[in-house]
């Protein structure tokens, strides 16, 4: 298999760290065994856990004020794929990439698929982009895309989504993620119901173009670029649209796309209950859609979301198969490092949620023992699962210390030589 970081280097670094890891792992195994928990089951779960990386996340993010690009940034989809391969080689838990069109320009899909196969990387949900005009575009999205009052703009947006499905088919993807920035900036600017009707009518045409084994995921977002109203601004509008469109359409939850303090885990539960949870864009947030690194600020919230997901797995909820993806903006860090650490943070939340004693929790819920129910969750959350995650990486020939291994090869300096900057290159965006 093609690699970007030599496996010999990773194993050399791992051997330096293995004996300490083994001690920590054995100590945790003994501690968990006292509660009748077999650590190996959780290590296996960590080995199996996978989360997708967004192609656009490999570039430095930015704000509407500025972007400070990193040296050696990827300039095209092939170079983004290379960086995604690095992330997977070191983290062992990111074996898929989600592309974004037309940000990702592809001339030959089968050639791209061949390279990704060589890296052992799969392509997952295809993202369409109808929130900005492309050079030479004849009709504009300035006043919306799928909900635009002008039929020509709507038709262009519908056709772009249908094209994205074809791109995804060529890459082996199985879902289309649709996020639109449609909305308004002034009270009275837009007729709420008519805009939503136009959106639904456009989405019906895209839905009709879905292959039998595909899903369509709708991503809601509270605000931006529209600052007064947004057509799919919350999970309510989202699930209404998904229910209207049919069983292949589900809702996608981006953690940053809610008002501060929203109980996202309860939204997740509702979507699970009605078989409408399509997937996630993981990130963290303090004020709005600030796209901080996953788990960097609210690790307990992320754990509580996984508590709902693991609960659904435990209950063998019908039609429960959400896709996991990172979607964050890396403004001050090396995106490769942020994506590695974020993937591991999400994996950590999953393993901690698996540690919850479900039957005990149900018992406390039935008997209204609020304190013990809360402590049951805290008990799992407070377990330091890092030895489990590191052992899982070691067993998969990924890095025990991914950032240490990454920094030891000075990848960015190598890429600076390999990828001279194009002064006309446009920046990556974040949705």
In whole angstroms, how close is the CB of 291 to Mn ion at the nearest point?
8
C-alpha–C-alpha distance, residues 164 and 126, integer Å: 7
Interacting stretch for Mn ion, rule CB under 5 A, among 154-162, 181-189, 324-332, 349-357? 324-332
Binding track over 388-427 against Mn ion, x by CB under 5 A: ----------------------------------------
In whole angstroms, how close is the CB of 128 to Mn ion at the nearest point?
13
Q: Which of residues 325-344 bind Mn ion (CB under 5 A)?
A: 327
Contacts of 121 (CB under 8 A, 6+ apart): 81, 84, 85, 88, 95, 96, 97
Q: Which one, of 340, 310, 313, 327, lies nearest residue 252 by Cα?
A: 327
Binding of residue 13 to Mn ion (CB under 5 A): no
Binding of residue 291 to Mn ion (CB under 5 A): no
Nearer to Mn ion, 252 or 385 (CB): 252
Binding of residue 281 to Mn ion (CB under 5 A): yes
In whole angstroms, how close is the CB of 217 to Mn ion at the nearest point?
10
What own/partner pairs with CB < 8 Å and gap ≥ 24 does 285-290 have?
A: 285/255, 285/256, 285/258, 285/260, 286/260, 287/260, 288/222, 288/223, 288/224, 288/256, 288/260, 289/221, 289/222, 289/223, 289/224, 289/254, 289/256, 289/257, 290/256, 290/329
Binding track over 246-265 against Mn ion, x by CB under 5 A: --------x-----------
Nearer to Mn ion, 13 or 281 (CB): 281
C-alpha–C-alpha distance, residues 163 and 208, integer Å: 13
Rg, the chain, Cα only? 22
Nearer to Mn ion, 258 or 281 (CB): 281
In whole angstroms, how close is the CB of 284 to Mn ion at the nearest point?
13
Nearer to Mn ion, 254 or 334 (CB): 254
Contacts of 118 (CB under 8 A, 6+ apart): 1, 2
Nearer to Mn ion, 73 or 219 (CB): 219
Nearer to Mn ion, 327 or 337 (CB): 327
Contact footprint for Mn ion (CB under 5 A)? 254, 281, 327, 431
């Amino acid at each position: 298999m093609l690699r970007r970081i030599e496996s010999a280097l990773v194993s050399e670094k791992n051997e330096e760290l293995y004996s300490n890891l083994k001690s920590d792992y054995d100590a945790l195994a003994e501690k968990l065994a006292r509660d009748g928990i077999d650590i190996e089951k959780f290590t296996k779960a960590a080995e199996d856990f996978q989360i997708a990386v967004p192609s656009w996340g490999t570039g430095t993010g930015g704000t509407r004020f500025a972007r400070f690009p990193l040296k050696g940034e990827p300039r095209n989809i092939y170079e983004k794929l290379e960086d995604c391969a690095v992330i997977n080689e070191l983290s062992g838990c990111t074996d898929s990439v989600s592309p974004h069109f037309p940000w990702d320009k592809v001339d030959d899909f089968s050639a791209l698929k061949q390279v990704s196969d060589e890296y052992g990387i799969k392509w997952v949900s295809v993202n369409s982009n109808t929130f900005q005009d492309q050079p030479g575009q004849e009709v504009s999205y300035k006043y919306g895309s799928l909900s635009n009052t002008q039929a020509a703009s709507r038709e262009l947006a519908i056709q772009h989504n249908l094209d994205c499905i074809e791109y995804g088919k060529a890459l082996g993807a199985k879902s289309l993620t649709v996020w639109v920035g449609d909305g308004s900036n002034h009270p009275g600017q837009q007729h709420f119901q008519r805009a939503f009707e136009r959106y639904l009518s456009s989405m019906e045409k895209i839905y009709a173009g879905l292959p039998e084994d595909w899903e369509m995921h709708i991503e809601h977002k509270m605000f931006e670029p529209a600052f007064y109203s947004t057509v799919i601004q919350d999970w309510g509008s989202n699930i209404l649209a998904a229910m209207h469109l049919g069983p292949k359409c589900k809702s996608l939850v981006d953690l940053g796309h809610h008002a501060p303090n929203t109980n996202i885990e309860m939204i997740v539960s509702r979507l699970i209950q009605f078989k409408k949870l399509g997937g996630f864009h993981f990130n963290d947030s303090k004020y709005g859609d600030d796209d901080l690194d996953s788990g960097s600020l609210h690790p307990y919230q992320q754990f509580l979301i996984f508590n709902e997901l693991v609960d659904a797995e435990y209950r063998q909820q019908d039609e429960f198969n959400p896709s996991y993806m990172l979607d964050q903006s890396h403004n001050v860090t090396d995106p490769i490092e942020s994506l590695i650490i974020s993937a591991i943070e999400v994996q950590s939340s999953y393993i901690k949620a698996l540690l919850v004693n479900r039957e005990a929790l149900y018992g406390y819920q039935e008997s209204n023992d609020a304190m013990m129910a809360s402590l049951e969750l805290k008990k799992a959350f407070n377990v330091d699962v890092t030895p489990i995650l590191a052992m899982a990486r070691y067993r998969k020939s990924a890095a025990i210390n991914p950032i240490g291994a990454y920094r030891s090869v000075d990848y960015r300096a190598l890429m600076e030589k390999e990828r001279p900057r194009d002064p006309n290159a446009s920046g990556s965006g974040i949705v």
